[in-house]
Structure 1
Amino acid sequence: MADAAPYEIPTSVLETLAPSARRLVLNRRGSTVWDVETRHGRFAAKLGYPIKATSEWEGQEWTALAPGREGAILQHLNRKHVSYGDWEHGTWNVQPWHRGNSLYDLWQPHRAEGASPEPDLGEALSCAEAVAALHATGWAHGDIQPAHLIISHGGTALIDLALAQGGAIPAAYDFSYRGCLVHYESPEISRSVLETGTATPTLAADVYALGASLFISATGLRHVAYPDDAGRKDQRQAIVDGPHQPVNVHGVLGKLIEAMLSPDPADRPTSAEVCKELSSGR
């Protein structure tokens, strides 16, 4: 359910950006995102605010901190043209806009009826390289999903790092990790969230999420089957109980996805090994 009206970009941020145009991209559950055109380029402006409790979900405070946390992480990773701060309802950040198509959108033709799910290995490699580049810095993303893999002619941008873990975070912007979009959670993440309410993002869990992202983008199937109307607790329990769905993707990619979806983190390839396998299979 979207909010009745989106939050406008705070005046102080607008004065700095001096936009020539702006477009609403997202307005739901604790986050409003604007696509902003300026004389210095195109930027994403993200606003975070608390989620109010409804009959469908509990209230959440962490969403108000997420843009500030992401901004701090991006600066820690030496990403250029990133700023962040506080506003009356939470935190905000501004970062360069990434042009391209999400992995799921790009691979839509492979999900058409009668199509053979054999996506381009070069596109899969580009996604794996983006994940491996982040892992090489010592950070786990914690929220890998097809919508966060933006593919263009220049490669893949791995976006939305608000839940990442791997270095110091300013205490004012930090919060506990409570899992991610469940369609891409690994069994150990789902198990920890069910048992304790929180989990720790890991490189191995990222590899699982990348495998689940490649699988659903190629086939339209979630890595584990559960009813569309299942609650998050039931979804997570299905992931813990397993097994994952049969990987009906042909060739090198199918074999690799199978390995990436191993229930045992120790049995999964690293992101660097995923890159190596995809490179050799091209």
Structure 2
Amino acid sequence: MLLPEQITNVLPPIIEATRVANRRGSTLWDVRTDIARYAVKLGYPSPATDEHAGRPWTALAPGREAAVLHHLGTPVPSGRWEKGTWCIQPWHEGPDLQQLWERHRVDGTVPSVTTALECAGALAGLHAKGWAHGDVQPMHFLIGPTRTHLIDLALAQGKPVAAEVDFPHRGCLVHYEAPELSRQVLEDGQASPTQASDIYGLGASLLMAARSRRAVTYPDDAPRPVQRKAIVEGNRRPVNVDGPLGELVEHMLSYKPTDRPTLQQVINSMREML
């Protein structure tokens, strides 16, 4: 698969283009030019399989993410190709949180509070502008040499985006989905992420990255509705991270949104641990 001509016409002369991810409904390319390095996203409809329903909205995800970034004051090139939408973003160096904390999952040590604080700070920057991310997971925190970036904003909610790239939020990766979102998806087929549901997602992300442990018990191969039902029923696992960080994660994973700490409280608690 080659990059569409619409994209190559926008970029400076390309030295190298490598497809680094090919998920259901999207591909991510690492593109190098003599000027800069870019993350290029292509969206296309995700076909139905025996395990998953089709997801036509994935074709619009890069265009919607570009619209969100425009609202946030970071406009990026975007457009349409024959199968959906695309966008071009700066490439961010650094491993994601899941990669960075691999050794803690191996040896069981307590992970870096400083790194957890950087992730919370990246999320706080988005919240301060009136948005909820809607898809918080450890792979979306890139720990760079100078700062931590929160990426993949296609599902973010905060302000209206153009109708031609908009679509309802139909849930996120279930491991990090707050109970209230799972309930909404089961009942209505769509959900309304909030900053409180992002707090749950951050707690679940810290737990997964530190211990490779889902916050809720359900079979790995269960259909999504069965997994969401387990989340709604509150089949929580204990948080097996020792010390104050584990206690904070436990609080962040509170069932009721009103019982969770605010992000500022999370940040304050982490600062006290340093």
TM-score normalized with structure 1 length: 0.94
Per-residue deviation, 1:93: 0.3
The more displaced of 237-246 and 197-206 is 237-246
1 CA distance for matches of 2:249 and 2:133?
19
What's the CA shift string for 1:173-193, capped at 9, x where partnerless? 000000000010010000110
Per-residue deviation, 1:11: 0.7
Cross-structure match for 1:24: 19
1:213 corresponds to 2:208 = no
Contact 1:85 1:91 in 2 (8 A): yes
Contact 1:117 1:219 in 2 (8 A): no
1:73 corresponds to 2:65 = no
1 CA distance for matches of 2:239 and 2:258?
20
Cross-structure match for 1:104: 98
Contact 1:215 1:223 in 2 (8 A): yes
**Amino acid corresponding to residue 138 of structure 2 in structure 1:** P
What's the CA shift string for 1:136-174, capped at 9, x where partnerless? 000000000011011122121000000000012011000
Out of 118, 142, 163, the residue aligned to residue 155 of structure 2 is 163
Cross-structure match for 1:88: 82
Partner SS for 1:150: strand
Cross-structure match for 2:135: 143
1:183 corresponds to 2:148 = no
1 CA distance for matches of 2:241 and 2:6?
50
2 CA distance for matches of 1:192 and 1:117?
36
After TM superposition, list the pairs within 5 Å mapping 1:52-63 onto structure 2: 52-63=47-58
After TM superposition, list the pairs within 5 Å mapping 1:261-280 onto structure 2: 261-280=253-272
Cross-structure match for 2:252: 260
2 CA distance for matches of 1:136 and 1:243?
32
Per-residue deviation, 1:78: 1.1
**Amino acid corresponding to residue 51 of structure 2 in structure 1:** E
2 CA distance for matches of 1:207 and 1:254?
14
**Amino acid corresponding to residue 20 of structure 2 in structure 1:** V
Per-residue deviation, 1:116: 3.1
5+ residue gaps, structure 1: 1-5
2 CA distance for matches of 1:210 and 1:65?
25
The more displaced of 55-64 and 224-233 is 55-64
Partner SS for 2:86: strand
Contact 1:190 1:240 in 2 (8 A): yes
1 CA distance for matches of 2:227 and 2:52?
15
Contact 2:51 2:223 in 1 (8 A): no
1 CA distance for matches of 2:109 and 2:235?
21
Q: Give every structure 1 segment of 4 or more consecutive aligned residues whose post-TM-superposition deviation is greater than 4 Å.
A: none
Out of 203, 221, 225, the residue aligned to residue 229 of structure 1 is 221
Partner SS for 2:10: helix
Cross-structure match for 1:13: 7
Per-residue deviation, 1:280: 1.3
1 CA distance for matches of 2:109 and 2:163?
45
1 CA distance for matches of 2:50 and 2:200?
32
Partner SS for 2:62: helix
Contact 1:45 1:95 in 2 (8 A): yes
1 CA distance for matches of 2:174 and 2:237?
15
TM-score normalized with structure 2 length: 0.97
**Amino acid corresponding to residue 257 of structure 1 in structure 2:** V
5+ residue gaps, structure 2: none
Cross-structure match for 2:43: 48
After TM superposition, list the pairs within 5 Å mapping 1:187-206 onto structure 2: 187-206=179-198
2 CA distance for matches of 1:26 and 1:234?
28
